[in-house]
Amino acid sequence: MKVIGKKSVAAGLKFLINAAWYIQMAAFSLALCVLVYVSIKSDFIGSDIPVKLREHQTIKGIVSNSADLWDAQLKLSEGVLHVKTKLSWSMILLMLGQFACIAALSLTVTYLLRKIFATLTGSDGSPFIPENAARLRKIAILIILLAPLKFVNNFYNFWLITTSFRSKENNFTPDLKLDFQTVLIGLVLLVIAEIFRMGTQMREENELTV
């Protein structure tokens, strides 16, 4: 099986990444429109917050002591707490900020991947160029940045639940997930990027050895 070059695995992946690029652009544009529409038209927004469920799977009621929350429903099968939160300007800004960060990160990673895969299927077919090493490094840093972004969201949900809800039977607790996996993947990619950079240096030296 041919991995790099024309009609190879890399060529197939290149097609998928190019498709993902356009799908992402369309999806983010649509999501932005929906977000803006909801912000203007609606007074509340619904969201699912992951929670840890205790042994007792029955719940008599959830009491909220926050005026910002309209409704809450514990979905036992999915392990999430569905809440309807009153939309305020600070919340809209928070959502837009988070959306902008996620969109920018995702689009940049896909853009960099497109550039890398373009060098894998070209006529010279040589990926060992300094630009690719720099691109891999940028992807690694962006993936590492994704983890704190997720954590901010989880922390906000944690704060929302701990300050606004108490269950009568106390059978759920907020799930403050720390995304170590993403950081780990980012760090591994950072090391691979460094190996790649050394590889490009070795290639350059080899080419300039007479």
Partner 1 sequence: MPILVNLDLLLVKRKMSLTELSERVNLTMSNLSILKQGKAKAIRFSTLEAICRALDCKPGDLLDYEPDTEELKKVG
Contacts with partner 1 by CB under 8 A lie at: 204-205, 208-210
CA gap 26, 28 in Å, rounded: 6
* Structural tokens at position 20: 């993902």
Nearer to partner 1, 154 or 200 (CB): 200
Minimum Å gap between C-beta 197 and partner 1 is: 16
Q: Are 145 and 185 in contact (CB under 8 A)?
A: no
CA gap 188, 146 in Å, rounded: 15
Q: Are 17 and 112 in contact (CB under 8 A)?
A: no
Nearer to partner 1, 65 or 209 (CB): 209
Minimum Å gap between C-beta 123 and partner 1 is: 19
Minimum Å gap between C-beta 207 and partner 1 is: 9
Nearer to partner 1, 40 or 210 (CB): 210
Nearer to partner 1, 67 or 208 (CB): 208
Minimum Å gap between C-beta 190 and partner 1 is: 27
CA gap 149, 98 in Å, rounded: 8
DSSP string, 144-156: HHHHHHHHHHHHH
Nearer to partner 1, 129 or 185 (CB): 129
DSSP string, 9-36: HHHHHHHHHHHHHHHHHHHHHHHHHHHH
Amino acid at 194: E
Minimum Å gap between C-beta 210 and partner 1 is: 4
